[in-house]
């Protein structure tokens, strides 16, 4: 007959193995316990913990669920299951498991943090904040809760509070490298740049291979015009990342653009060659290096480059454009009010390169049908949230237009053509897609430099076009130019960026 004391003795042995990080030996010990005491939920929980410690979240989940089959009221099993589901990316299920744990024990701080994490990933920052604050109330010394609270406060723009929360996390546990990142982010947002740099440097001292610390410190250096330091930090981030991050390549490209704008073109080109040598197949590197010397063979940005660029920008795109006083969608909206007044909800409209829907928001009131097309899936997800589009298509623009003969009364396009040099194909596509007497309204960046091509690839990675070239290509495709206005489209480095607003008619 098995004795209760035997169970406790076996458990002590298994626990000791787990506590000394001998997880595989501990797994064998817990398996042995389960074979003898198959109805003991705690053995399944601890076996799940071993899998969790080894990074096998799927098997951890299985054993937490087995524990719950035996004891549906086990708060630890529900709490641990919530954590495993979070790591597996099943945030809704993680939220539900954590809530179940809290039904059993309302002040269970680990479940409160797991619940906050799930809310955070689901985009519900307010409930995440509430959950972390409840965890802190349950355990005022819970460093992880303070750090996670700091992150969510940063995300909702409460940067001073984020600084306080992350500082408290560091006070409680100075070994958590992520807390220094959170602190650095908050200090950066508060304009306390040197303190932000100091926080990131502490993280780098703790782990010199921590890529995100180099990325973030590079951003601060670039902001305060320490371009050499920014370049070095961004390069370190690129080299340290286990998986190539599109955002890191974009950061590096923009710091080379900074050099070019300062007149240090040779340095930018030399660094670009180094970049291409290490990452010869990266579309961001190829395009940005080509832009440093206006490579005449490049007549449009590659689909992969455009997709990477706007997928990276999508989460904060609207806020970023507001910061540079981006006016193109508004300018198009004003033109629509002139030409289509009284035609509300009557037109078939295409928003060509719709992005997050900034231009569509102005065109929507005139639409019977409003379609949007964009290469970036990330942008289209944002556009879908506006709930104004009849259809959204993830496609390359010129190819998409080939199959749309005379479909639309109106095509609008806000600054999309800045990623296309040779406009022949896309203008032909627009002409094919618009109905007789239909209109094309678009903005495009101005080229101040005369050249035979009529456009050139700027060191920013964007194309700029001459007025005469745009007119010629519109007329060649069959359009009549109805209206042309030179205007400021946005700011860049605090300076106005000029472009054209065109209205053309088939």
pLDDT at 440 over 90: yes
Q: Nearest 5°: CA angle at 418, between 283 and 395? A: 60
The reported pLDDT for the residue numbered 187 is 98
- Low-confidence winner among 280-284, 296-300, 366-370 (lowest mean pLDDT): 296-300
pLDDT range class, residue 3, cuts 50, 70, 90: low
**Residue 452 pLDDT level (bands cut at 50, 70, 90):** confident
**Residue 48: predicted pLDDT:** 96
Residue range 381-390: average pLDDT? 96
pLDDT band, residue 319 (cuts 50/70/90): confident
Per-residue pLDDT for 253 more than 50?
yes
Nearest to 208, CA basis, from 186, 183, 177: 177
CATH 1.25.40.10 fits 209-293, yes or no: yes
Residue with tokens 């054993």: 63
- Over the stretch 338-376, which tens digit does the pLDDT of each residue have? 999 999 999 999 999 999 999 999 999 999 999 999 999
Q: How confident is the model at residue 321 (pLDDT cuts 50, 70, 90)?
A: confident
Residues of the chain with CATH 1.25.40.10: 1-72, 209-293
The pLDDT, as a whole number, for residue 218 is 98
The count of other CB atoms within 10 Å of the CB of residue 179 is 29
Domain 1-72 has CATH 1.25.40.10: yes
pLDDT at 242: 81
Give yes or no for residue 121 having a pLDDT over 50.
Answer: yes
Asked whether the predicted pLDDT for residue 398 surpasses 70, the reply is yes
Identify which of 2-6, 106-110, 310-314 has the greatest average pLDDT.
106-110
**What pLDDT, in 10s, does the model give residues 34-59?**
999 899 999 999 999 999 999 999 99
- Do residues 256 and 288 lie in contact, with contact meaning Cβ atoms separated by under 8 Å? yes
* pLDDT of amino acid 293: 82
Three-state DSSP class for residue 296: coil
Residue with tokens 């939220």: 95
Confidence label for 4 from pLDDT (cuts 50, 70 and 90):
low
Architecture of domain 312-505: 3-Layer(aba) Sandwich (3.40)
Where do you find CATH 3.40.50.150 in the chain? 312-505
Percentage, residues of the chain above pLDDT 70: 99
Chain centroid, CA 409 distance in Å: 34
Which range of 181-190, 242-251, 323-332 scores highest in mean pLDDT? It is 181-190
Q: What is the pTM of this model?
A: 0.86
pLDDT above 90 for 11: no
Among 490, 484, 505, 319, CA closest to 411: 505
What's the mean pLDDT in 198-222?
A: 97
Sorted by sequence, the CB contacts under 8 Å of residue 127 that are 6+ apart come out as 116, 119
Give the strand pairing for 463-465 and 455-457.
antiparallel
Please, which pLDDT band fits residue 1 given cuts at 50, 70 and 90?
very low
Closest CA to 417 of 343, 477, 367, 338: 477
- Tokens encoding 389: 């589009």
- What are 297's two structure tokens? 């063979």
Summarised one tens digit per residue, pLDDT across range 56-99 is 999 999 999 999 999 999 999 999 999 999 999 999 999 999 99
Question: Rounded to an integer, what distance in angstroms lies between the CA atom of residue 216 and that of residue 199?
Answer: 10
């Amino acid at each position: 007959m098995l004795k209760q004391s035997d169970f406790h003795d076996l458990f002590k042995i298994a626990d000791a193995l787990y506590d000394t990080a001998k997880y595989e030996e501990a797994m064998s010990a817990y398996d042995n316990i389960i074979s003898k005491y198959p109805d003991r939920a705690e053995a399944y929980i601890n076996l799940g913990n071993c899998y969790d410690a080894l990074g096998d979240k799927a098997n951890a989940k299985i054993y937490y669920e087995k524990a719950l089959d035996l004891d549906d009221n086990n708060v630890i099993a529900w709490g641990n299951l919530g954590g495993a589901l979070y790591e597996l990316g099943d945030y809704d299920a993680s939220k539900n498991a954590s809530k179940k744990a809290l039904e059993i024990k309302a002040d269970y701080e680990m479940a409160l943090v797991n619940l906050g994490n799930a809310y955070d990933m689901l985009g519900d920052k307010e409930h995440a904040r509430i959950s972390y604050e409840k965890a802190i109330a349950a355990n005022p010394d819970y460093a992880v809760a303070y750090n996670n609270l700091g992150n969510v406060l940063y995300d909702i723009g409460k940067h001073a509070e984020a600084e306080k929360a992350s500082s408290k996390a560091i006070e409680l546990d100075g070994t958590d490298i992520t807390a220094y990142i959170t602190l650095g982010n908050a200090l950066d947002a508060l304009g306390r740049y040197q303190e932000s740099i100091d926080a990131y440097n502490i993280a780098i001292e703790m782990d010199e291979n921590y890529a995100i610390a180099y990325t973030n410190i590079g951003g601060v250096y670039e902001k305060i015009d320490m371009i050499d330091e920014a370049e070095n930090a961004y390069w370190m981030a690129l080299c340290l990342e286990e998986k190539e991050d599109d955002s890191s390549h974009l950061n590096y490209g923009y710091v080379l653009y900074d050099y070019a704008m300062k007149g240090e073109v040779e340095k930018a080109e030399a660094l670009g060659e180094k970049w291409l040598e290490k990452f010869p197949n990266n579309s961001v590197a190829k395009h940005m290096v080509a832009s440093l010397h206006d490579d005449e063979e490049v007549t449009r940005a590659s689909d992969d480059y455009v997709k990477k660029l706007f997928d990276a920008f999508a989460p904060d795109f609207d806020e970023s454009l507001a910061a540079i006083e981006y006016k193109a969608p508004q300018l198009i909206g004003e033109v629509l009010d002139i030409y289509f007044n009284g035609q509300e909800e009557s037109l078939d409209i295409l928003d060509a390169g719709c992005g997050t829907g900034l231009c569509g928001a102005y065109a929507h009131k005139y639409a019977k049908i409003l379609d949007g097309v964009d290469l970036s899936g990330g942008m289209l997800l944002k556009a879908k949230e506006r709930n104004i589009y009849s259809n959204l298509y993830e496609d390359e623009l010129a190819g998409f237009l080939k199959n749309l003969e005379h479909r639309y009364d109106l095509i609008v396009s806000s600054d999309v053509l800045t990623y296309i040099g040779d406009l022949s194909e896309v203008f032909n596509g627009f002409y094919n897609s618009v109905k007789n007497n239909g209109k094309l309204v678009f903005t495009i960046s101005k080229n101040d430099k005369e050249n035979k091509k009529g456009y050139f690839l700027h060191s920013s990675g964007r194309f700029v076009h001459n007025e005469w070239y745009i007119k010629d290509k519109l007329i060649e495709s069959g359009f009549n130019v109805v209206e042309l206005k030179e205007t400021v489209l946005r700011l860049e480095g605090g300076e106005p960026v000029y472009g054209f607003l065109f209205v053309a008619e088939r």
